[in-house]
């Protein structure tokens, strides 16, 4: 439990073994490679609509998701491929969704911004900034009212903090002491608007703190720090003590979406942050500690690439829904046809 | 329904009984909204429920319409059966993003996976001199949205029975309760139960003209029909009951018979639900019409505070009579 | 300038002379008597719709309004009779508005919740909770962009703090350092919902403070404390340093509106607060300091009653707008007819 | 307009030129919205304006649609002439309370004292595979509101000229820019100026049927007309241009001539603006109609992501042609 005064995680050496290191790196590499492929496939016209990539921010999903139980829930945003993969949605089902195929995890109806998988309690994929936050609070309320000891993890960006929906939801969650783990992915920009040009108080953990909520602020490029913070938060929430808020300071390496000319930040700034690439940072640390070698990294990358190739093959081979089914899935009766 | 003794109840009591029984019947049902608990509901619809069910199930919220409607959506997804009360339709705009982009849309955009069995209740309408910001009738905003069902109970039976049916529905259902109805009385069987929510009702059968209303305008339409009867004009009065999906069949059957229609709607005329009804009748029964369909709607003005101006802005029996007379035209 | 740590106004003796005491008391008494009459007139069916009385909270309007310049602006709520009177809207124009007569300050169109007087820069009278706050920020922006050294005073209740509109507006005002004096009239209830049942952090000044805004919390039953705080705030805002937020702790002596059975609070609680009636408190203080005598108070009351009688006479004699003008005032062209 | 040389410009450039000239002309004009400054506008409409006018007049806002629209209203009351950009109509729901309860209503409820000369721009519509939450066409929500004027420029000339006129208007004006139009090109006189905002335009004269569209559907209606011409059917195409107030005169005159109408609208069919147009034509030209008025609208489904389904959900030239053929019926 961290007070508003410090807002820094307890320092110190986080223990790590080889299996753990391999799995963390696997999550990050898979997400990275998956999305680099997505960028190509977008260029090739296989993926359309809006495509928001998570490249640079993978440590967050990789750090948090493995700590959630199957019964916990996740509510995410339109920048959710990394969350989805780390939550266990198969790369094939995700890629098929991006291709708009029936084999997609949202039956092809949603596309990149609307990834759903109820079997994994992954409730989207929401393209209205801050629009998913009240939903997460409601899922947590349902758990509390039904006496289930579950957590709902709610992810959103720094931009969401300016929206009224964020504030109303913080208040409800804190007032009713609901089991939500709020994860604010502060990549310091909302499209082209930097945090200091959009928030009078750019320390977002402090803002959450004003709801008498427990908060922490953490280096989102350090997967171990993320994981340690998430563990502290989850312990608190699981103990039934109320919500917990983590601000994860990170950076988006790529453009906001495919249409963004990136006029709002300098190449230098991007380069500085790329020097703190979470994958490179963690690889170096794991090697330093003697947990991973050259071969391991190479074989992880090969494994990821194979998984992605298989995903693309599945998506390519997938089927388009017949036009006759256009109005399916609007109401339950029809979905059940 | 089945011969149980009928008692006189107010619309307000019918709403309260419906909520009370729903909470007794199903542990997943709870009520949430501004002042539904301690205060007893702005319109006293939930008076006593806090004592009976406690603050978890009769849950007062802060003034956060957007968030608590969203919380209701999340709770519905999470297995509860929330009844979320928005105090009045006027404040529902603050929740419209959640209603349209989440409640109505989640099932479809998740490819059928995520259902939202949420019931939203709100008071609607004008007629009490509460002026421009508190007198809206925005039913057509909601009737426009695929994924929603939209109801407008106009009788005590519907106030009690529609909520029941709505709570059985796997999709989001919105109930509009016209604020002037809460104090009205009607007969209701003591064991009155669920009623269908996909059918309009013929409240008065007639041969000469079809008058269509819903919610707060049904009584006005019936009053107009009485006035018309004195002049020898036999009006059929239809209560839409369900604004989405619309019951085309009942509407078309009536117009096929009467060959004339006057549509009454408390929404502002331009862009009203009455326009939609007109278009549907044209699409489905054009060749049966002997005269242009007429609309009696609210004038294109925010509702003024003074009574004489408010009355003039809203549909009234007299204006309905005039419209019918113009419609039956040469005949009259 | 007060920091978040203290949140209390500097203590001490506030100087006061007889003329000042008379005028403060006049404002409070006028508002009180005016509204007590309104309650009667509502019972008699002369006033209809919603009627929200300010009884008990008069020290706020009486303390703040005289400090505003003619060029400053006021944005208020549906509980605004006291604000309107203290801002100088004639009692007759206000009463005629409540009667729905053409002589009303909003031409009779608005009623109790929509009192306007542009000649006094009184911009309503807004019946959507928190709905006026963005407007106030916009008025301040207009002043700033046009190089005018004006202040916009923005009044709202404790209930408004839960609304997203409040939060979005606080951020914009603080981020852009706009000249707004925020006045949160914390009467501890939003209809029947008490603050501690609606806010996880019931110290509202602290909430505003999370926007890196200067804040103060003050006893709203003490007209001198209100005035001292408002003066500090106005000095800061007028100096172009940005917005200032004052939480004024007060109490509504009467029901929320004519329909409220007041099930949510005890008679005892109400009695405790009535013992701190701002008019009685201030009268006692002024008499203790030898500034006012029995006669003064009685004559102030008589003066107020005369003013109110004249207002009622004006309202009674006023005219109803012809029905033919129903759609007037929707667009400018028509208003200009 | 007056013989100045015409140049080819994109719709996006026309919008930009309109804003630029407005800011040059009138110091009270400023632009405010999400990413209008540094980013240059989501659709690049304001690219370069920050450099020319600085951050006070090209003002990036946080993600706070409700508040910054409200701030625009306040600034308009305070003497400025704000152009507030809501990135897309999809997010405008978060500001709808401010638009309806303040912008549209303040003048009336203040008894005529408070005018709100605010210009609101937003992108609208589907067609780019951005799925269920980003593809709305909610024009009828706004056209429903007394106190607003609602425009839908479909050509480069209107994109440039309507903004000018809107800024001269003493009341709030909303411009809907269909997102698929930004890249389209047209000829525009170099000195093109203000255009009227109370008139529909006949984009193609014809004798056999009136096809009505606006914004993103005008080009589709014209394409349908070309296809119909090949079959010997001469369609008149009307571009509504102004959705509130509607230009009944132009619509009625056309239908009096053609005696048949097909209404095209990217809104969901139920509760669409097309329904309103139909009702007005019935009210004003019923006896001139030789066939039921038909509507070609968006299907009752949130917009699906895959292209083939999105295409099927939206009005298309082929569907317009079919509707016209059914309307001209026996004649064909
Ligand atoms: C309510 C709303 N307003 C605007 C947008 C357009 N938009 C999409 S993403 C985005 C930026 C959001 O930034 P942030 O929350 O920091 O998330 P990030 O994209 O950085 O992950 C904006 C403005 C939207 N989707 N929803
Ligand atoms: C957005 C909105 N929601 C609900 C209401 C109904 N309502 C009117 S006043 C009120 C209580 C407001 O409390 P507060 O802001 O503390 O002001 P007070 O009435 O105590 O002066 C409520 C819930 C409203 N007018 N607007
Ligand atoms: Mg961001
Ligand atoms: Mg209060």
pLDDT tens, residue by residue, C12-71: 567 899 999 999 999 999 999 999 999 999 999 999 999 999 999 999 999 999 999 999
C175 touches chain A (CB under 8 A): yes
> What does the pLDDT read at residue A1?
35
> What does the pLDDT read at residue A12?
52
Chains contacting B (3 or more CB pairs within 8 Å): A, C, D
Nearest CA to ligand 2 atom 11: C190
Q: Which fold has domain A17-312?
A: Rossmann fold (3.40.50)
Residue C122, beta-bridge partner list: C74, C117
For residue B214, pLDDT over 50 is answered with: yes
- B272 in the same domain as B162: no
D144 with B271: Cβ contact below 8 A = yes
> What does the pLDDT read at residue A143?
98
If residue B235 lies in a helix (H) or strand (E), which one and from where to where? strand B235-239
Asked if the structure places residue D97 within a domain, the reply is yes
Q: Which residues of A touch C131 (CB under 8 A)?
A: none
Asked if the structure places residue D258 within a domain, the reply is yes
Q: Which residues of C touch A207 (CB under 8 A)?
A: 210
Residues in chain C predicted with pLDDT less than 50, given as ranges, are 1-7, 9, 11, 334-337
A200 with C174: Cβ contact below 8 A = yes
pLDDT tens, residue by residue, A135-154: 999 999 999 999 999 999 99
Q: Indicate which residue of D13, D34, D85, D134 is catalytic.
A: D134
Which ligand is closest in space to the CA of residue C187? 4
Asked whether C79 lines ligand 2 (CB < 6 A), one says: yes
The dihedral over CA atoms of B210, B213, B219, B222, expressed in degrees to the nearest 10, equals 0
pLDDT tens, residue by residue, D158-187: 999 999 999 999 999 999 999 999 999 999
Going by the DSSP 8-state scheme, the letter that residue B202 receives in this structure is E
How far is residue D36's CA from residue B264's CA, in Å, rounded to a whole number?
A: 44
> What does the pLDDT read at residue C105?
98
For residue D1, pLDDT over 50 is answered with: no
- B218 in the same domain as B153: no
Asked if the structure places residue D131 within a domain, the reply is yes
Domain end call among D156, D189, D222: D189
- B152 in the same domain as B117: yes
C109, C162, C330 ranked by CB distance to B64: nearest: C162
Two structure tokens written together for D137: 């066409």
Q: What number of other Cβ atoms are within 10 A of residue A63's Cβ?
A: 29
Taking the CA of residue B74 and the nearest CA in chain A, the distance in Å comes to 4
Number of domains in chain D: 2
Query: Do residues C85 and C27 lie in contact, with contact meaning Cβ atoms separated by under 8 Å?
Result: yes
Instruction: Specify burial of residue C44 (Cβ count, 10 A radius: 0-12, 13-18, 19+).
Output: exposed
A164, A175, A213 ranked by CB distance to C168: nearest: A164
Q: Which residues of B touch C80 (CB under 8 A)?
A: none
Q: Which residues of A touch D64 (CB under 8 A)?
A: 162-164
- B206 in the same domain as B146: no
C89 touches chain D (CB under 8 A): no
Asked if the structure places residue B267 within a domain, the reply is yes
- D170 in the same domain as D116: yes
Searching chain D, which residue's CA lies closest to the CA of residue C178? D71
A169 touches chain B (CB under 8 A): yes
pLDDT tens, residue by residue, C207-240: 999 999 999 999 999 999 999 999 999 999 999 9
Domain end call among D155, D189, D223: D189
Asked whether C129 lines ligand 2 (CB < 6 A), one says: yes
- D273 in the same domain as D148: no
C71 half-sphere exposure, CB direction, 13 A CA radius = 9
- B116 in the same domain as B18: yes
How far is residue D90's CA from residue C179's CA, in Å, rounded to a whole number?
A: 32
Mean pLDDT for all residues in chain B: 97
> What does the pLDDT read at residue D248?
98
% of chain A residues with pLDDT over 70: 95
A328 touches chain B (CB under 8 A): yes
Residues in chain A predicted with pLDDT less than 70, given as ranges, are 1-13, 334-337
| Strand, coil or helix: A123 | strand
A167, A201, A210 ranked by CB distance to C164: nearest: A167
Asked whether B34 lines ligand 2 (CB < 6 A), one says: yes
HEC per residue, chain C: CCCCCCCCCCCCCCCCCHHHHHHHHHHHHHHHHHHHHHHHHHHCCCCCCCCCCCCCCHHHHHHHHHHCCCCCEEECCCCCHHHHHHHCCCHHHHHHHHCCCCCCCCCCCCCCCCCCEHHHCECCCCCCCCCCHHHHHHHHHHHHHCCCCCCEEEEEEHHHHHCHHHHHHHHHHHHCCCCEEEEEEECCEECCEEHHHCCCCCCHHHHHHCCCCEEEEEECCCHHHHHHHHHHHHHHHHCCCCCEEEEEECCCCCCCCCCCCCCCCCHHHHHHHHCCCHHHHHHHHHHHCCCCCHHHHHHHHHHHHHHHHHHHHHHHHCCCCCHHHCCCCCCHHHHCC
% of chain D residues with pLDDT over 90: 96
Least Cα distance to C128 among D101, B92, B302 occurs for D101
- B140 in the same domain as B15: yes
Asked if the structure places residue B129 within a domain, the reply is yes
Q: Kindly give the residue spans of alpha helices, DSSP state H, lying in B169-217.
A: none
Report residue D332's pLDDT band, with 50, 70 and 90 as the boundaries. Answer: very low
CATH of the domain at B206: 3.40.50.920
Asked if the structure places residue D194 within a domain, the reply is no
Domain end call among D189, D213, D235: D189
Asked whether A190 lines ligand 1 (CB < 6 A), one says: yes
pLDDT tens, residue by residue, B152-161: 999 999 999 9
> What does the pLDDT read at residue A13?
63
pTM of the full predicted structure?
A: 0.97
CA D114 – ligand 4 centroid, Å: 27
How far the first Cα of chain D sits from its last, in Å, is 39
For chain D, the residue count is 332
> What does the pLDDT read at residue C15?
81
Least Cα distance to C136 among C106, C89, C187, C176 occurs for C176
- B247 in the same domain as B106: no
Taking the CA of residue B134 and the nearest CA in chain D, the distance in Å comes to 9
Nearest CA to ligand 1 atom 7: A129
Least Cα distance to D71 among C205, B133, D110, D62 occurs for D62
Report residue D331's pLDDT band, with 50, 70 and 90 as the boundaries. Answer: very low
D273 is in which domain, residue-wise?
Answer: 201-327
Q: Which residues of D touch A113 (CB under 8 A)?
A: 130-131, 133-134
| Strand, coil or helix: B182 | coil
D35 touches chain A (CB under 8 A): yes
> What does the pLDDT read at residue A257?
86
Least Cα distance to B179 among B118, B130, B238, B244 occurs for B130
> What does the pLDDT read at residue D330?
52
Angle at B306 between CA B305 and CA B308, to 5 degrees: 135
CATH of the domain at D85: 3.40.50.970
Two structure tokens written together for A43: 């260029």
Asked if the structure places residue D196 within a domain, the reply is no
> What does the pLDDT read at residue A261?
86
Domain ranges in chain A are 17-312
């Amino acid at each position: 439990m961290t007070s508003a005064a410090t807002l820094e995680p307890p320092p110190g050496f986080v223990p790590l073994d080889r299996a753990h290191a391999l799995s963390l790196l696997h999550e990050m590499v898979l997400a990275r490679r998956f999305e680099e492929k997505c960028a190509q496939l977008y260029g090739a016209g296989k993926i359309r609509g809006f495509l928001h990539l998570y490249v640079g921010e993978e440590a967050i999903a990789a750090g948090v998701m493995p700590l959630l139980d199957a019964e916990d829930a996740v509510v995410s945003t339109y920048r959710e491929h990394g969350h989805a993969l780390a939550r266990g949605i198969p790369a094939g089902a995700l890629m098929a969704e991006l291709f708009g195929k029936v084999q997609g995890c949202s039956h092809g109806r949603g596309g990149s911004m609307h990834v759903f998988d109820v079997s994994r309690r992954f409730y989207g994929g929401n393209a209205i900034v801050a629009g998913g936050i009240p939903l997460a609070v409601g899922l947590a309320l349902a758990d509390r009212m039904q006496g289930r000891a579950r957590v709902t993890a709610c992810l959103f960006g720094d931009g969401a903090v300016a929206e009224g929906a964020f504030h109303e939801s913080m208040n409800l969650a804190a007032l009713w002491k609901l089991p939500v783990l709020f994860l604010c992915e502060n990549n310091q920009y909302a499209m082209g608007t930097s945090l200091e040009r959009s928030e009078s108080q750019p320390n977002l953990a402090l803002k959450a703190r004003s709801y008498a909520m427990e908060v922490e602020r953490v280096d989102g490029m350090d997967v171990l720090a993320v994981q340690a913070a998430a563990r502290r938060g989850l312990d608190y929430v699981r103990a039934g003590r109320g919500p917990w808020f983590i601000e994860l300071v990170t950076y988006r390496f790529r453009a906001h979406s495919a249409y963004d000319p990136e006029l709002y930040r300098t190449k230098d700034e991007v380069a500085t942050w790329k020097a703190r690439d979470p994958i490179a940072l963690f690889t170096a640390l794991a090697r330093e500690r003697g947990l991973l070698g050259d071969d391991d990294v190479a074989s992880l990358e090969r494994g990821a690439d194979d998984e992605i190739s298989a995903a693309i093959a599945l998506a390519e081979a997938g089927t388009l829904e017949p036009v006759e089914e256009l109005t399916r899935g609007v109401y339950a009766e029809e979905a059940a046809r | 329904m089945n011969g149980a003794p009928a008692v006189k109840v107010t619309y307000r009591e019918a709403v309260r009984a419906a909520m009370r029984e729903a909470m007794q019947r199903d542990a997943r049902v709870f009520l949430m909204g501004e002042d539904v608990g301690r205060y007893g509901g702005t319109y006293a619809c939930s008076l006593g429920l806090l004592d009976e069910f406690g603050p978890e199930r009769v849950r007062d919220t802060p003034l956060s319409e957007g968030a608590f409607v969203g919380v209701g959506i999340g709770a519905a997804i999470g297995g509860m059966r929330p009844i979320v009360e928005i105090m009045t339709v006027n404040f529902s705009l603050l929740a419209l993003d959640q209603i349209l982009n989440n409640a109505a849309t989640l099932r479809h955009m998740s490819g059928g996976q995520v259902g939202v069995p949420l019931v939203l209740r709100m008071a609607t309408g004008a007629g009490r001199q509460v002026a421009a910001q508190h007198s809206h009738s925005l039913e057509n905003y909601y009737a426009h949205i695929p994924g929603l069902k939209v109801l407008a109970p106009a009788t005590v039976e519907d106030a009690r029975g529609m909520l029941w049916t709505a709570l059985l529905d796997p999709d989001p259902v919105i109930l509009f309760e016209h604020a002037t109805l809460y104090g009205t009385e009607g007969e209701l069987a003591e064991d009155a139960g669920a009623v269908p929510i996909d059918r309009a009702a013929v409240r008065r059968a007639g041969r000469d003209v079809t008058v269509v209303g819903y919610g707060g305008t049904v009584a006005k339409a019936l009053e107009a029909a009485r006035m018309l009867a004195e002049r020898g004009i036999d009006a059929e009065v239809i209560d839409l009951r369900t604004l989405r999906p619309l019951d085309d069949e009942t509407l078309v059957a009536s117009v096929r018979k009467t060959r004339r229609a006057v549509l009454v709607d408390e929404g502002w005329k331009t862009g009203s639900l009455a326009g939609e009804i007109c278009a549907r009748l044209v699409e489905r029964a054009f060749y049966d019409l002997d005269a242009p369909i007429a609309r009696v709607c609210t004038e294109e003005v925010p509702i003024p505070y003074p009574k004489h101006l408010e009355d003039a802005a809203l549909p009234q029996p007299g204006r309905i009579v005039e419209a019918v007379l113009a419609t039956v035209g040469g005949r009259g």
